[in-house]
Chain A
Amino acid sequence: MICSFPRTAGSTVFQSLYSAGKIELELVPQGTLAERIRAGGAGIPAFYTPTAVGTRLAEGKESRVFGGREYLLESGIRADYALIKCHRADRLGNLVYNKTARNFSPLMAAAADTTVVQAGSFVEAGAIDPETIVTQGVFVDRIVEIPAAVEESSLVAAGASYP
């Protein structure tokens, strides 16, 4: 698991596997994680960042000084699959999101070999104003339309689990 915050209220699977030593954790500062995914999707193998200098998350990492300040070398990352959610998708895979639910989705769409999208609605090409498209269809492989999907937070609160 490569993650910045691997715990949330009501979420127990990772915690129990981690405590049992059955899963490894690579803890990454949230902004570094976002930039590593962005880089992975944009063809950039590595970059330097000031985040985490002097902390235990810098251990073992190459560092370099630019302009008198120390930076850490971080690598881009990619995934085989991205599973993301959007507000509206068109037939060509162009996406718009809803408010703060955008988060990592545009980054992961670009950084995965296969991007699968859960769309609140599916519309014809041209139905989304080209000026407002956030993720371009070139990054999207599959779309599943699920109108009125149950919110993840509601499922977690209800204790839903999927074996």
Chain B
Amino acid sequence: MSAQNRGDGWSRDDIARNIALDIEDGAIVNLGIGMPELVASHIPEDREVLFHTENGLLGMGPPPPAGQENPELINAGKRPVTAIAGASFFDHAASFGMIRGGHIDVCVLGAMEVSEGGDLANWSLGDDDPAPAVGGAMDLVAGARRILIATRHCTRDGKPKLVKACSYPVTGIERGRPDLHGPGHT
């Protein structure tokens, strides 16, 4: 495929910066693994955003300096992180209660495909998947109040990722999202 089809426009940091600018002051934010992680370093300094990681930390800070990593202070991607002043630790049931219960304002995720109707596929290659693994992606898609997708337009092979209907197994469907205008979500 040609370079043109790969969409060599924005860099990963450009995409992360654009997403960061769309996150309001005071938001509780969960970042997926990969490009979404870059969003943290682009939040404007005049906004206070609390990062949630589903393995049980609200108030996640940046990675520690080399040599100060703690194997018992990591993010959902198992990378060493820090805890900011005011952070709290909790178990997985409480953590996913925050997600499913609508307490996470924004979740930034990567995508393999996004459909025109708002369905997302980002967890499985389908029947060829040698070892299926889902983690917390489906809970985040079903529970977070806003889902922002950090992705390029096309795959490395130049195939579009914004599609009519997802060909990969979906992580969640638009119909399965919370009704933010309904009871309890005003």
Contact = CB atoms under 8 A, between A and B. Distances in A.
Given A29-B139, A31-B100, A54 B175 contact: yes
A51 B130 contact: no
B92 A103 contact: yes
Contacts of A101: 72
Interface in A46-78: 49-57, 67-70
B160 interface: no
Nearest to B127: A56
A94 interface: no
B133 A5 contact: yes
Given A100-B55, A104-B92, A30 B136 contact: yes
Interface string A1-20: 00011111100001100110
Q: B interface, by DSSP: helix, strand, loop or mixed?
A: loop
B169 A103 contact: no
B171 A55 contact: yes
Contact of B83 (A29, A38, A99, A151): A99
A134 B178 CA distance: 31
A99 B135 contact: no
Contact of A103 (B91, B172, B173, B179): B91
Contacts of A68: 179, 182
Given A51-B138, A54-B176, A102-B91, 11 more contacts: A29-B136, A31-B99, A33-B92, A34-B95, A53-B176, A54-B119, A55-B172, A57-B138, A67-B183, A99-B73, A102-B90
Interface of B: 53-57, 70-75, 78, 83, 89-93, 95-97, 99-100, 119, 124, 130-139, 142-143, 169-173, 175-176, 178-179, 182-183
